[in-house]
Structure 1
Amino acid sequence: MKKNEQNMQGNLASISGAMPEAGAVGSGTPRKCGMTRRSLVAGAASAVMALALLAGCGATPKATDAGSAPKTAEDTSAAATSKLIVGFDQAYPPYGYVGDDGEYTGFDLDLAKAVAEKLDWEVELEPIDWEAKDALMDSGAINCIWNGFTMEGREDDYTFSDPYMLNAQVIVVRADDGIAAQADLAGKTVVTQIDSAAEEVLEGDAADLAATFASLETIGEYNTAFMQLESGAVDAVACDLSIARYQMSAKPDAYLMLDEYLSEENYAVGFKKGDTATAKKVAEALKKLYKDGTVEQIAAKYADQGLTMDNWQIK
């Protein structure tokens, strides 16, 4: 079989050698082809036979793209599928957490359900590892992030709805620790959630302040951070204003929030970059839900956890 293969490969080489060279077409200088129409047809037939025999000898010709439709990425957006798949941190009260009944609950999750109902969409709540949110969004496992999600600094990575809630990054300390201002944090240990807006601020605009700390540590979720603060393992927690209010509502005598904000920002619903259709529909639905009183009714459920309508943005 080896000898036959060599002969056939020689035939193919002689045929290809008689064809115009790559790049000759459109080069500005016409080239004469030494083959007649009949010899071209005959050569093509020989080539087909040679390829068929080569296939029988175990050689597999490369597949071509001719005639095959290009693959397009599946559109997993809620606007296309009528299904809102909400990625959220299940330890982020009052926005998303596990309730006493074992069910997922929270202000943002209730908002997502209300929006889905308004738009006649299905809704699916998906608790996620916060560090994996980008990969989950890219894969289509979720099609939005709705969980006290700060939009500032992430505009290049996501398409956002209109901002719906004003927020700030703050510092919380133990009430009896004698820390009254940011300057008192020098030499102290501060903890924040990994990949959070607070971490971004302390590594960016507030880096000079962070440089005075003994250390800036990160942790997976804020409930554990506040347990560490209460036990004395750390001296302060950097977090969202809403998280601080929630923790302080549960233990008002245990914690003190410093008056100085690290930054001010906005919460918005994050979608895959370019998904403007879903972002627009969600923002429009939130506006309608505010006007008919639904948003205020939902917020009232979490008032005892420090959530207020004072900072609501979409009206």
Structure 2
Amino acid sequence: MKKKWSLITAAAAALALAGCMLAGCGSNDAAKDSANSDTTKLIVGFDQSYPPYGFVGDDGNYTGFDLDLATEVANRNGWDIQLEAIDWDAKDTLLNSGAINCIWNGFTMEGREDDYTFTDPYMLNAQVVVVKSSSGIKSLDDLAGKNVITQTDSAAQEVLEGDKADLAAKFAQLETIGDYNTAFMQLESGAVDAVACDLSIAQYQMSAKPGVYTQLSDELSSEHYAVGVKKGNTELAQKITDTLKAMNEDGTVKQLCEKYADYGLSYENWILK
């Protein structure tokens, strides 16, 4: 009886061990699959109305300097890539939910360091003001009593509501709008007197319509672009940084800058070496 009980116990133990091993393997495989799914696909959140960094090309497809950079980074790391045109106001919700895993679209890092993990900055940028060349507005002081517009949740809005709040207090009104293309349409029509925006946006709009717009010489602020990932995801941020450095060293970045030179993009503003 004791021997029979021992055999039964041993068999039960063996089955339990086998079950644990199978469960363990399944759990590890699931974890591995989950990890792989997080690291083998780059899901890029971008503003589709932000030339030359991300926009809809003449062929109806998404294009832009940052999207080209992201695609090349993904290719070099063996990642799939998914380009997601997003509502800019929803970018934090989308990033935290995993619907996107990076924000890569002329994304200013200053003032946002506590909210994201960033790559090393790669592009020099500034916040500037653009007016119609025929407006007679020559300086920031001339904006007193004028209607100024900027993009909702943009770096320009943050500056005008922060460090430059005293300047904005002199405006007749500081308006916000969903995208810069519409903001410049309002400027051209005379609905507003000035657009506060990124330097790159100003350069693009001025190159698209030579002589129509003028950028005021005084900058609102100086800053940098970087790729933002979910807070704590240092591995992805570092991988992107390292790949961008390699792309600069082999001349790929310079080629992409030249591709978008007609949009006002300059390799001189690239700072990641």
| Interval of TM-score (by shorter of Structure 1 and Structure 2) | 0.7 to 0.9
Shift of 1:81: 2.6
Q: 1:276 aligns with which of 216, 225, 234?
A: 234
Task: Measure the CA separation in 2 of the matches of 1:272 and 1:228.
Answer: 35
Residues 129 and 222 (structure 1 numbering): CA distance in 2 closer, same or farther, change over 3 Å? same
Does 2:200 correspond to 1:200? no
Residues 76 and 143, structure 1, Cα contact 8 Å, conserved in 2: no
Q: Which residue of 1 aligns with 2:220?
A: 262
* CA–CA distance in structure 2, aligned partners of residues 93 and 307 of structure 1: 10
Cα displacement (A) at 1:157 = 0.4
User: Partners in 1 of 2:144 and 2:35 — Cα distance?
Assistant: 46
Closer, same or farther in 2 for the Cα pair 1:79/1:183, shift >3 Å?
farther
Matched, 1:169 2:127: yes
**Where does 1:31-110 land on structure 2 (aligned, <5 Å)?**
80-110=38-68
Cα shift at 1:285: 0.1
* Counterpart check, 1:295 vs 2:253: yes
Match of 1:143 among 101, 104, 111: 101
Q: Which has the larger radius of gyration?
A: 1
Secondary structure in 2 matching 1:310: helix
Q: CA deviation at 1:78?
A: 8.3
Specify whether residues 111 and 182 from structure 1 end up closer, same or farther in structure 2 by C-alpha distance, changes over 3 A only. Answer: same
Match of 1:305?
Answer: 263
* CA distance 1:309–1:141, change in 2 (3 Å): same
**Identity level (%):** 69
Answer yes or no: is 1:220 the counterpart of 2:175: no
| 2:74 aligned residue | 116
Structure 1 residue ranges without an equivalent (≥5) = 1-68
User: Hey, what's the Cα distance between the residues in 2 that align with 1:187 and 1:285?
Assistant: 47
- How many pairs are equivalent? 244
Contact preservation (8 Å) 1:87, 1:125: yes
Question: CA separation in 2, counterparts of 1:188 and 1:77?
Answer: 53
* Equivalent residue letter for 2:212: A
1:57 equivalent in structure 2: none
1:79 Cα deviation from its structure 2 partner: 8.7
1:180/1:275 CA distance change after superposition, 3 Å:
same
Q: CA RMSD in A?
A: 1.8
Q: If the length of structure 2 is used for normalisation, what is the TM-score?
A: 0.87
For the pair 1:185 / 2:143, whether they are aligned, the reply is yes
CA distance in 1, matches of 2:95, 2:197: 24
Quote the offset at 1:120 in angstroms.
1.1
- Contact 1:77–1:143 (8 Å) recurs in 2: no
Q: Deviations over 1:40-84 (max 9, x none)?
A: xxxxxxxxxxxxxxxxxxxxxxxxxxxxx9xxx999888943110
Q: 1:78 to 1:208 in 2, by over 3 A?
A: farther
Distance 1:287 1:77 in 2: 25
Structure 2: distance between partners of 1:224 and 1:78? 40
C-alpha separation in 2, matches of 1:188 and 1:76: 53
Question: TM-score, normalising length from structure 1?
Answer: 0.75
Rounded Cα–Cα distance in structure 2 between residues aligned with 1:306 and 1:127: 22
Question: 2:200 and 2:250 mapped to 1: Cα distance?
Answer: 24
